[in-house]
Structure 1
Amino acid sequence: MGDVIKNIKEFIWDVIGYLIPGFLLIIVFNLCLLPSIGIEDNFLIEWEKFSDYLIVIISYILGYVVYSLSDFKALKQDRLLDFLVKKLPKFESYFSKHKNNHWEKTFKESATFKNAVLFLKEKGYKDTDKMKINEIRNILMSRNPSMDQKVYTFMFRASVFNNISTILLVIISLAFIQLFTSLKGLYFIKTTPQFIIIYFIFLFLIPLLEKGKKRFFQIAMRIPLSNTK
């Protein structure tokens, strides 16, 4: 019975985790995109009859899109930082701190990680020195299921921060693309003075959201390694 409840909880977390970013993307698109690019209500079916269900379904699907874009963003960010390190070696330490895997290298040198590895060795686990932080964390979570709720909570918060950052970056990118398409008379995003101010606010919020993501993600990763049983 306990496993059934646990699986139901994980399923709910999974559904909510994709619904929220997908629904937020719809809201932001509805706010920033020009109404003229929308599809008419009578396209193929009577959309009004199924509107409530369709919003949920589309939000869930778009949630996967947002997660994929978040992964793509992280990949391109690291590649950009690698490029900047090569071009500006004097600032290597600064750029390296902003890479997604920087905290892992630092954390592996911490007493918390070393004690967790030693603990698993004493419990008979092999090759712990070669394991990644994720692998160590998963083993410790399986030994102490009471930590699951805390870990999932902080991982969920990290995902929310990350996905909001991605959505805002998508809007900023669309506004930037329109600078070029407008030369051909193609407009798809609002660029009135009020919205230009909003886009600058988005641009300011992105690095703050990234910091929040890293903070909660690191907490989620540290919890199991700080509570060895």
Structure 2
Amino acid sequence: MPTVSVVRDTLLEMIGCESMSEHEFDQMIFDFGVELDGVIEEAERFMEDEGLKVVYKIDVPANRYDLLCVEGLAAALRCYLGYSTDPLPFKAPVTEEVTMTVDPSTLAVRPYVVCAVLRDVTMTQRIYNSFIDLQDKLHQNIGRRRTLVAIGTHDMDKVEQNGFTYSAENPEDIVFIPLKQTETMDANGLMKFYEEDKAGLGQYLYIIRDKPQYPVIRDRNG
């Protein structure tokens, strides 16, 4: 079973039961169907402030991907406790259509692409870090270490917001500045750059490295 680490105070505040004791919490989540595996104190990397936090380590079922982050866990527990009838309230207004054109060339490398646009989202550093952590967890389990699914998150305010394309191109034709870098690289250079990062992105290079073409998403401006 996956283990999710959540800051106690953050989780209890999201649920709406800040005064719940550890014993009460343990019993409540056991009745819900998950288990409190441990309680520790550690510096919480998702918080803006520093210092030790009480962290609950919670075992969740392997098929409950919605429980792999504090936001999803809190939403589910709020429903279980009767505090909310809608675990993930959101609205989907009809806005300008966003298109993604898929080129047949992707059939030879990564044939499927799925897209979603989230609007009016305010990201604090804690929320952003939690979101990326969830993305990484999904990569590892349902994505089978990115061999089945690789997720990318992008700021729509920084790209042309319509007319996206998904195609497979020669590595030398895929040129951009990688995340957190300052120099432009093509895909061949990117492979060499990350091959030393054995614990990070380097461990996933084998998935497409030997393909004659690599998949790439571009906006209308390329």
Q: Considering Cα pairs closer than 8 Å and 6+ residues apart, tell me whether 1 or 2 has the greater RCO.
A: 1
| TM-score bin, normalised by smaller chain | under 0.3
**Length-normalised TM-score, structure 1:** 0.24
Q: Comparing both structures, which one devotes a greater share of its residues to helix?
A: 1
More strand by share: 2
Larger radius of gyration: 1
